[in-house]
Amino acid sequence: MGTKHTETPWDRIDAKTLRSDGCWLFTGAKNQFGYGRITIRKNGVRTGYLAHRVSYENIHGPIPNDMIVCHICDVPNCVRPDHLFLGTHADNVKDKVSKNRHRWCPPELRKRKLTDTDISEIRASTLTQRQLGRSYGVCHKTIGKIIRREIWK
């Protein structure tokens, strides 16, 4: 008879982690944002989990439903427990802004006036939103809102 498999999710993460004096980098599968992912089977159902969340729970226990696990180091595939902290989404955004890691539009691109002709050309264009934003001197997010008719209806 076979023996029961006793490897924990942390054991699986640890086996795929490069440790250093700085970040502990998870080298296994990653999602599109660079965060480590592992699949865990619970009650016969396979579910994907973010490796940094499993790492946090391994040391600190369950994560409250209204909280997320943030990185002090800003390295998505870091699973070092002392690089992780709990926060709200708003806390994470404040952290990102304070470290100047957020994507933003320069102030000079926030108030540019577009004409009705500009709006028609933007909506008819096949260029990317970023290309259009550069071309018209506005933020790419503004271009997206124009295309979706959220502004200039």
Between 99 and 94, whose confidence is greater?
94
Pairing of strands 84-87, 68-71: antiparallel
Rounded CA-CA distance 106/74 in Å is 23
Average pLDDT of every residue of the chain = 85
Phi-psi region of 103 (alpha: psi -120 to 50; beta: other; left: phi over 0): beta
Instruction: Please give the DSSP secondary-structure letter assigned to residue 10.
Output: H
Whole-structure pTM value: 0.63
Give the architecture-level CATH label for domain 9-98. Alpha-Beta Complex (3.90)
Instruction: Give the containing element (helix H, strand E) for 46.
Output: strand 45-50
- The mean per-residue pLDDT over the stretch 92-107 comes to 72
Domain locations in the chain as residue ranges: 9-98, 107-147
pLDDT score for 29: 93
Q: How does pLDDT run across 34-58, given as a tens digit for each residue?
A: 999 999 887 888 888 999 999 999 9
